[in-house]
Amino acid sequence: MVRTVDVAELVDRAREGQPRAVARLISLVEDGSPHLREVARALAPFTGNAQVVGLTGAPGVGKSTSTSALVSAYRERGRRVGVLAVDPTSPFSGGALLGDRVRMGEHATDPGVFIRSMATRGHLGGLSWATPQALRVLDAAGCDVVLIETVGVGQSEVEVVSLADTTVVLLAPGMGDGIQAAKAGILEIADVFVVNKADRDGADATARDLKHMISLGRRERTDVRWRPPVVKTVAARGEGVPDVLDAIDAHHAWLHERGELARRRARRAAGEIEAIALERLRSRFGDLRGGAAVDALADRVVAGELDPYAAADQLVDGVGA
Amino acid sequence: MVRTVDVAELVDRAREGQPRAVARLISLVEDGSPHLREVARALAPFTGNAQVVGLTGAPGVGKSTSTSALVSAYRERGRRVGVLAVDPTSPFSGGALLGDRVRMGEHATDPGVFIRSMATRGHLGGLSWATPQALRVLDAAGCDVVLIETVGVGQSEVEVVSLADTTVVLLAPGMGDGIQAAKAGILEIADVFVVNKADRDGADATARDLKHMISLGRRERTDVRWRPPVVKTVAARGEGVPDVLDAIDAHHAWLHERGELARRRARRAAGEIEAIALERLRSRFGDLRGGAAVDALADRVVAGELDPYAAADQLVDGVGA
């Protein structure tokens, strides 16, 4: 069955806050539907208002519980909230487990909350491809805040940072935070640190270690920089969560005052444009003689007849660039 | 001071196993030196012999200790080993901490071992860009085995899988392995599971849970597939490590018999060629009016005047593709 899509009507309904229209638009952008460009064009005038908050941390620190608690706290302040839960493992697994989302159930009937689990797509597409478009949908739908939740250490985290105005890094006591935190480079990406499960042994030590590392890390910088605060929470009971919101807002105000918010958003848009352009160019590689061009070049590289740079030259020539 | 580089001589010396020549060649490819293409061309005829093993796992499972123990075990079998330790956080931190590498000290004076910490580069470059070239250097230098060690969950792991013939996933007891393992999608990427720190409480339970998950995960597939073995080790004492080598070799033989090794390597080369071609195209975006083209487009997207797809069209047109 062919379903016709009236994009303009969907966007109107999403702007009125109809959850099904929002969900449908995200599906359209996530599936790379033929309507993708039409959706992007229709959304453009209504974007740029949402405050974008990234949440990240290692497995087991309580990310989902924290996201849910943040949503509750934002709702108490009358703010509309979108959540994009990104599962970076989906090139293989095809999506997030249910467990996480079940805990979000309390918000399922709240018309001021949109929650969406995103599958990331393929290799180079990744978070950089579909997530910014889903973010635009939530932004245009009138979300005051969009939380992007992602797991882990590495590339997905890097990409969350590239999308977010403010990045919150979650930790929990007793997970070998000290050296691991430094290894994971989280000192550099965090605008706000949250030590969750603060009712457990070692929470004070973890917070102290973090503050110490922050003081060391910042000393070498000569310019005036944001000093990330360390907030303790027990997200499962909502304790400390309003303080996290205050810290996020303080960082947002700090960025705005310095013109850095506008610069971050311009960089974000530039990254988004480049990612789309590259994806388009990449799809042309596959189109060259039905992908046979790449395969033939790969065989010659495997055989040692050609080096990969010379092969890449031929590929670039092949798409006429 | 301008240093002239005699690439042909460097490659000759690297093939004789001179560590400084190997290190210099890796630096040349990692730095994106002007000699990069010349190096790639000179290496091409001598590549394709090394067995490539990826090692990954969450922080704290003992990756560095396991890598070091695997190197020792390979050396006992008379095999020359290269190690590429990839730190996916380096877009921010600029490199791995020393601690990890210090533990490799016992191999520092062994002429049959090359160890290199790789910085990953930038956003789209990432592991996919410099690591395969460093792998080619070690391959041409006569390494029988190249171990690629990376931390974490997510994109960097995905990329290790794309490079390796065999991917070893390390776990440790008592890290909430069950559900977390499933979340991280490791069932799909692991060819061999290692439960390290097997002298700790819970090691048997972790191994049992893994085997159970493997049996569940595989049942839905209709084709004959490799069933990843679960090996227990105490890497710090070398216990179980020869079993890991046997499991890796068994997987390698299995791949080879089915023609899958050749297919994996062709896919790897294709990915490498595409990544280089895309990087070249991306550098042209930056060249367009000194990067001003991207910035001007980004400003219009931020202002809501243009959607990112329309902006990407203009960018692609700009590079003449």
In this prediction, residue B318 carries a pLDDT of 78
In this prediction, residue A98 carries a pLDDT of 36
Give the mean model confidence (pLDDT) for residues B275-284.
83
Q: Is the CB of A315 less than 8 angstroms away from the CB of B266? A: no
Q: Which residues of B touch A274 (CB under 8 A)?
A: 282, 285, 294, 312, 315
Q: Is B304 on the interface with A (CB under 8 A)?
A: yes
Give the mean model confidence (pLDDT) for residues B27-43.
86
Using CB atoms and an 8 Å cut-off, which of residues 140-159 of chain B contact chain A?
A: 151-159
Q: Which residues of A touch B309 (CB under 8 A)?
A: 36-37, 40-41, 276
Give the mean model confidence (pLDDT) for residues A68-83.
95
Higher pLDDT, residue A145 or B118: A145
How large is the C-alpha radius of gyration of chain B?
21
pLDDT of B103 above 80: no
Of A175, A190, A241, A180, the closest CA to residue A56 belongs to A190
Q: What are the structural domain ranges in chain A?
A: 47-257, 273-318
Q: How far is B203 from chain A (nearest CA, A)?
A: 18
Using CB atoms and an 8 Å cut-off, which of residues 74-133 of chain A contact chain B?
A: 87-93, 96-97, 99, 123-124, 126, 128, 132-133
With cut-offs at 50, 70 and 90, classify the pLDDT of residue A77: very high
Higher pLDDT, residue A78 or B277: A78
In this prediction, residue A47 carries a pLDDT of 93
Nearest to B304 among A47, A96, A154 (CB): A47
**Which range is least confidently modeled, A7-11, A37-41, B102-106, B316-320?**
B102-106
In this prediction, residue B17 carries a pLDDT of 87
In this prediction, residue A289 carries a pLDDT of 66
**Which range is least confidently modeled, A252-261, B117-126, B221-230, B311-320?**
B117-126
Q: How far is A89 from chain B (nearest CA, A)?
A: 5
% of residues, chain A, pLDDT over 90: 43
Q: Which residues contact A258 (CB under 8 A, 6 or more apart)?
A: none
Give the mean model confidence (pLDDT) for residues B225-254.
96
pLDDT of B79 above 90: yes
Main-chain phi, psi angles of A230, to 5 degrees: -115, 115
Main-chain phi, psi angles of B41, to 5 degrees: -65, -40
- Average pLDDT of the residues of chain B: 81
Query: Chain A residue closest to B32 (CA)?
Result: A309
In this prediction, residue A1 carries a pLDDT of 47
Query: Chain A residue closest to B217 (CA)?
Result: A93
pLDDT digits (tens, 9 = 90+) for A13-29: 999 989 899 999 998 88
Nearest to B59 among A46, A153, A266 (CB): A153
Give the mean model confidence (pLDDT) for residues B145-156.
73
CB pairs under 8 A between A and B: 268
- Average pLDDT of the residues of chain A: 81
Q: Which residues of B touch A59 (CB under 8 A)?
A: 58, 153, 176, 180, 183-184
Give the mean model confidence (pLDDT) for residues A170-196.
72
Alpha-helical regions (H) of chain B: 7-15, 19-30, 36-43, 63-76, 90-93, 98-102, 126-140, 155-163, 177-183, 186-189, 203-219, 241-257, 260-287, 292-302, 308-318
Q: Which residues contact B28 (CB under 8 A, 6 or more apart)?
A: B5, B7, B10, B35, B36, B39
In this prediction, residue B198 carries a pLDDT of 95
Please state which of the four CATH numbers 3.10.20.600, 3.40.50.300, 3.30.70.2190, 3.50.50.60 is assigned to the domain occupying A47-257: 3.40.50.300
Q: Is the CB of A307 less than 8 angstroms away from the CB of B43? A: yes
Q: Does domain B47-258 have CATH number 3.40.50.2300?
A: no
Higher pLDDT, residue B129 or B198: B198
Q: What is the ipTM of this complex?
A: 0.79
